[in-house]
């Protein structure tokens, strides 16, 4: 009987120790969760601020899509400032696509109206706008290369996409 009482006492002691340890563990976990919650709130604030900055940057960008050859000339002049070039590069990098080639086509659709695209080709033949001399082509490549999966996009591959895009511009949707 004494052995049973001793065993029961030992079990009670162990149980109390485990409960004490469990309470300490819970306090540590709760403190960590509160810390994580604070970090998440801070990240949300930073994200909101970054979005506000991005929205302000977007306001300072030229109107897109470009509609006329004059618009192209104006954006080329605007791109002479490195700050403007960086703004447009960052903005266009958010367009994306499933491949580098698709990202280029998506950016071209966002950047150049289908009507204007019909008056552009890569070399400028037939009195069309010469795309290969435009800064905008370099900005598009830089934008696509910002995506980690597309960082190895070659100038040659981009050139092929540009040539085909403008060659097929008559098939683009819309008259805008």
Q: What is the dihedral of CA 61, 65, 103, 152, to 10 degrees?
A: -50
Does an H or E element contain 130, and which? Answer: strand 129-130
Phi/psi-derived region of residue 124, left when phi > 0, alpha when psi is between -120 and 50, beta in every other case: left
pLDDT recorded at residue 59: 56
Q: What are the φ and ψ backbone dihedral angles of 121, each rounded to 5 degrees?
A: -140, 170
For position 57, what pLDDT does the model report?
A: 56
Which pLDDT score is estimated for 174?
Answer: 63
Six token digits for residue 19: 């409960």
> Which of the residues in the chain have pLDDT under 70?
49-59, 174-176
Whole-prediction pTM value? 0.67
Distance of CA 26 to CAs 14, 15, 17, 23, 39, Å?
18, 16, 14, 5, 20
Is-contact 94 142, C-beta < 8 A?
Answer: no
- Reported as type and span, the H/E element at residue 37 is helix 2-59
């Amino acid at each position: 009987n004494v052995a049973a009482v001793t065993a029961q006492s030992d079990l009670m002691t162990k149980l109390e120790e485990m409960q004490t340890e469990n309470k300490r563990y819970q306090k540590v976990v709760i403190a960590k969760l509160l810390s994580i919650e604070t970090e998440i709130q801070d990240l949300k604030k930073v994200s909101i601020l970054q979005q506000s900055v991005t929205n302000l940057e977007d306001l300072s960008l030229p109107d897109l899509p470009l509609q006329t050859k004059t618009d192209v000339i104006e954006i080329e002049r605007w791109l002479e400032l490195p700050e403007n070039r960086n703004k447009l590069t960052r903005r266009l990098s958010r367009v994306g696509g499933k491949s580098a080639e698709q990202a280029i086509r998506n950016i071209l659709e966002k950047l150049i109206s289908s009507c204007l695209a019909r008056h552009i080709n890569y070399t400028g033949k037939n009195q069309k706008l010469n795309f290969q001399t435009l800064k905008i082509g370099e900005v598009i490549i830089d934008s696509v290369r910002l995506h980690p999966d597309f960082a190895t996009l070659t100038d040659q591959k981009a050139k092929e996409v540009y040539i085909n895009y403008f060659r097929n511009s008559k098939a683009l949707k819309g008259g805008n």
